[in-house]
Structure 1
Amino acid sequence: MKRMLAILSALLISAAPASGWGKIGHRVTGAIAERYLTDEARAAVRDILGVETLAEAAEWADFMRSNDEEFWRNSSSLHYVTVPVGTAYDPANAPQSGDAFTALERFSAMVVDADAPLEDRQLALRMIVHIIGDLHQPFHVGSGEDRGGNDVTVVWFDTVTTLHLAWDEDMVEYEQLSYTEMTDWLDARITPELAAEWMDPDPLVWIAESAAVRDSLYPDDAELRYDYFYEHRDLMRLRLSQGGVRIAAYLNALFAEEVE
Structure 2
Amino acid sequence: MRRFGKRQLATPLLLLLCEGAAAWGQLGHETVVWIAVEAMAPETLEAAKALLDTDEAGLVAAATWADKVRDDEEDDRWAHSFSWHFANIDIDAPDIEAACHGHPPVPAGKWASEAPAESCVIDKIAQFRAELADPEVPERERRLALKFLLHFVGDLHQPLHSADDGDRGGNDKIARLPGGEPAPLHYYWDTVFVPAIEGGPSALANVLAAEDAVVDGEDVLGTDPRAWAEQTYALGRGAAYGSLPAPGADGIYVLEEGYRRQAESIAVVQLQRAGRRLAALLDEALTGS
Preserved contact between residue 126 and residue 225 of structure 2 (Cα < 8 Å) = no
Q: Partners of 1:111 and 1:174 in 2: how far apart?
A: 32
C-alpha spacing 1:78/1:137, structure 2 compared with 1 (3 Å): same
Aligned: 1:182 with 2:204:
yes
How far has the Cα of 1:21 moved from its partner?
A: 2.2
Preserved contact between residue 150 and residue 162 of structure 1 (Cα < 8 Å) = yes
Q: Which residue in the other structure is 2:189 paired with?
A: 167
- For the residue of structure 2 that corresponds to 1:43, the secondary structure is helix
How far has the Cα of 1:59 moved from its partner?
A: 1.1
Deviations 1:213-251 (A, max 9, x none): 112223215123533322322111001111111101111
Instruction: Name whichever of 185-194 and 199-208 sits farther off.
Output: 185-194
Match for 2:126 among 96, 105, 112?
105
Preserved contact between residue 199 and residue 249 of structure 1 (Cα < 8 Å) = no
Percentage of identical aligned residues? 26
- For the residue of structure 2 that corresponds to 1:172, the secondary structure is coil
Q: TM-score, normalised by structure 2?
A: 0.73
Q: Partners of 1:71 and 1:104 in 2: how far apart?
A: 20
Match for 1:93 among 95, 98, 102?
102
Length, aligned pairs only: 239
Q: Partners of 2:168 and 2:198 in 1: how far apart?
A: 28
- For the residue of structure 1 that corresponds to 2:39, the secondary structure is coil
Q: Partners of 1:115 and 1:144 in 2: how far apart?
A: 42
1:1-260 equivalences under 5 Å are: 21-53=24-56, 54-67=59-72, 68-85=74-91, 86-90=93-97, 91=100, 93-94=102-103, 96-97=116-117, 98-143=119-164, 145-156=166-177, 157-172=179-194, 178-190=200-212, 194=216, 197-198=219-220, 200-215=222-237, 216-218=239-241, 219-220=244-245, 221=247, 222-257=253-288
Q: TM-score, normalised by structure 1?
A: 0.81
More helix per residue: 1
- Alignment gaps of 5+ in structure 1: 1-19
Preserved contact between residue 80 and residue 99 of structure 1 (Cα < 8 Å) = yes
- Aligned residue identity for 2:285: L
Q: Which residue in the other structure is 1:5 paired with?
A: none
- Runs of 4 or more off by more than 6 Å in structure 1? none
C-alpha spacing 1:159/1:191, structure 2 compared with 1 (3 Å): closer
- Aligned residue identity for 2:32: T
How far has the Cα of 1:73 moved from its partner?
A: 1.2
